[in-house]
Structure 1
């Protein structure tokens, strides 16, 4: 098993940071690859953050309402893939 980071995506060409609007999964819950784990928004866009792998969401590093730079880790999944 390995730990895979969930990162703040870049929703638009000029996006530098985004706000976490909602976590769709809770810490300790199982997620499937490409499943939506969070909703984020920038100044004009709202987007989904999808799980990069299947496994357990073991860490949520930013809360709803937090403003997070693009590319920063917002969560961690303990992957079942080798």
Structure 2
């Protein structure tokens, strides 16, 4: 089952975050708890941790891009799972 990766509130005052660097690329295997990316908040650079497992199937916000807290920035899903409808619903 696909897991949406959301821009998480990594500090109490965070309203949006910037993807500094993806530590996993599209197609890379992901286990729950893996560090996916470095996110710059209003106060510091923090690590975004995977909440699902499978493969990082789609990155929706590239390095240097920003997203409001709660927005979907990537999708994790098992290899072979059809995520086309999910991506269409996200505008990706």
Q: Deviations over 1:2-35 (max 9, x none)?
A: 1101111112111100100000001011011100
Normalising by structure 1, what TM-score? 0.89
Counting strand residues as a fraction of each chain, which structure ranks higher? 1
Q: How does 1:1-82 map to 2 (within 5 A)?
A: 2-79=1-78
Give 5+ residue unaligned stretches, structure 2. 80-92
RMSD (CA atoms): 1.3
**Structure 1: segments with no counterpart, 5+ residues:** none
TM-score by length of 2: 0.80
Taking a change above 3 Å as real, the CA distance of residues 51 and 79 of structure 1, as seen in their structure-2 partners, is farther
Richer in helix (by share): 2
Structure 1 residue runs of 4+, over 3 Å off?
none
Report if aligned partners of 2:13, 2:42 keep a CA contact under 8 Å in 1: no
Residue 33 of structure 1 aligns to a residue whose secondary structure is coil
Number of aligned positions between the proteins:
79
Contact (CA 8 Å) 1:4, 1:79: kept in 2 or not? Answer: no
For CA contacts below 8 A with separation 6 or more, give which structure has more relative contact order: 1
Distance 2:75 2:17 in 1: 18
**Distance of 1:8 and 1:54 partners within structure 2:** 17
